[in-house]
Amino acid sequence: MARDDVPGPHGDADGAGESYEQIEHHDAPVQSGGEANFAPAEPDDDAPAAGRVERDPRIEVVEREREAEDFAYHTGTQRVSETPDAIEFIDVHKAFGRNQVLRGLNMGLPDNKISMIIGPSGTGKSVCIKHIVGLLYPDEGDVLVQGVSIPSLADAELFEIRKKFGVLFQDGALFGSLTLWDNVAFPLRQHTEKGEEEIAEIVNRRMGEVGLGGEGEKMPNQLSGGMRKRAGFARALVLDPEIVLFDEPDSGLDPVRTALLCELIKEIHAENGGCYVVITHDIMSARRVAEHISVLWKGRIVESGPAEELFASENPFVRQFLAGESAGPLGME
């Protein structure tokens, strides 16, 4: 439903000096922490606050109308999950120049579940992953991992907390000058005291699991895109991380390998537990592995919750997206 109590888009120069006021775009997961960075709220009524530069009211009207249109399908419904959130985005805004990517994102990703973030291309999914690992910082708002505010960490603390993460970046992000084997071994050599024998055992096991058993000596540029992806997948898992972030692990893979990879994600999660976050465009993958789904569009959550509830959603955008249909609110844009 259209909401008219949403704040102005990030970048408004007004509101300086106003006191912090919590805005409920939708039911934010947990309201702990992160207060320091919150944007000043724009009041619901049209009366300008004291000390504020007055703007042409017509601009405000146009902005409100545009926002209402942009977020017409964003009920922001966050259906309750059984487990507490391991990762929380709290009113996060992020812009690159004039491109406002995250526009007051409230998103909770539950612990001990496989969560999927799905949404149209260019909507900010990869940007979310980069916020979680502290490669990008929010302009406003906060990102909590196990209750710790990532943007507030000093470099040394960030380095420490990154040991909990396994990350598969969208492009695989292998080191071009290292063999596949050394790429997969890299986190173990970097972050643990393990001997080469133990490292070899772990690396061989993970490479075997992703079907790259005999390919260890190859350099990344000698591999197909799908092989690089699988190597990145193996590398993300060698540290048995508590939090695993996969950015499109299934893109560039054939359907059979995609199905096998989904099985592998489920198996490894069943074995280790933890918060797994998978970004995908593949609805079949979502049906196979997702326990929790967050649908992201225009920088906010349209709806999120247990997978079966999302697949049964009445929301026209969610239905269009999860059914992969051309008819619906989403056009080519």
Ligand X SMILES: Nc1ncnc2c1ncn2[C@@H]1O[C@H](COP(=O)(O)OP(=O)(O)OP(=O)(O)O)[C@@H](O)[C@H]1O
**By the rule CB under 6 A, 123 interacts with ligand X:** yes
Residue 257's H or E segment, with its range, is helix 255-272
Residue 170 CB, shortest distance to Mg ion, in Å, is: 5
Q: Report residue 198 CA to chain centroid gap.
A: 32
**By the rule CB under 6 A, 286 interacts with ligand X:** no
Instruction: Give the C-alpha separation, 330 to 333, whole Å.
Output: 8
Torsion of CA 202, 205, 211, 212, to 10 degrees: 40
| Rg of the chain, C-alpha, whole Å | 21
Name the residue among 89, 95, 127 with its Cα closest to residue 109.
89
- Only one of the segments 119-127, 130-138, 234-242, 261-269 lies at the binding site for Mg ion (rule: CB under 5 A); that segment is 119-127
Q: Give 323's strand partners.
A: none
Whichever of 33 and 252 has its CB closer to ligand X, that residue is 252
Q: Which of residues 132-191 bind ligand X (CB under 6 A)?
A: 170
**By the rule CB under 6 A, 127 interacts with ligand X:** yes
Residue 330 CB, shortest distance to ligand X, in Å, is: 13
**Which one of ligand X, Mg ion, none is in contact with 123 (Cβ closer than 5 to 8 A by kind)?**
ligand X
Whichever of 181 and 317 has its CB closer to ligand X, that residue is 317
**Which one of Mg ion, ligand X, none is in contact with 121 (Cβ closer than 5 to 8 A by kind)?**
ligand X
Provide CB contacts within 8 A for 328, sequence distance 6+.
316, 317, 319, 320, 321
Tokens of 25: 């775009």
Q: Return the percent helix, strand and coil in the chain, to nearest 5.
A: 35, 20, 45
**Which one of ligand X, Mg ion, none is in contact with 99 (Cβ closer than 5 to 8 A by kind)?**
ligand X
Strand intervals (E) in 272-318:
275-279, 292-297, 300-306
Whichever of 103 and 113 has its CB closer to ligand X, that residue is 103
Residue of 75, 115, 126, 258 that binds Mg ion (CB under 5 A)? 126
Whichever of 119 and 187 has its CB closer to ligand X, that residue is 119
Residue 95 CB, shortest distance to ligand X, in Å, is: 9
Whichever of 127 and 307 has its CB closer to Mg ion, that residue is 127
Residue of 47, 54, 121, 177 that binds ligand X (CB under 6 A)? 121
Amino acid at 272: N
Q: Report residue 94 CA to chain centroid gap.
A: 13
Identify the three-state secondary structure at position 78: strand
- Only one of the segments 29-37, 125-133, 179-187, 319-327 lies at the binding site for ligand X (rule: CB under 6 A); that segment is 125-133
User: Binding mask 73-112 vs ligand X (x if CB under 6 A, - otherwise)?
Assistant: -----------------------x--x-x-----------
Residue ranges that bind ligand X, judged by CB under 6 A:
96, 99, 101, 121-127, 170
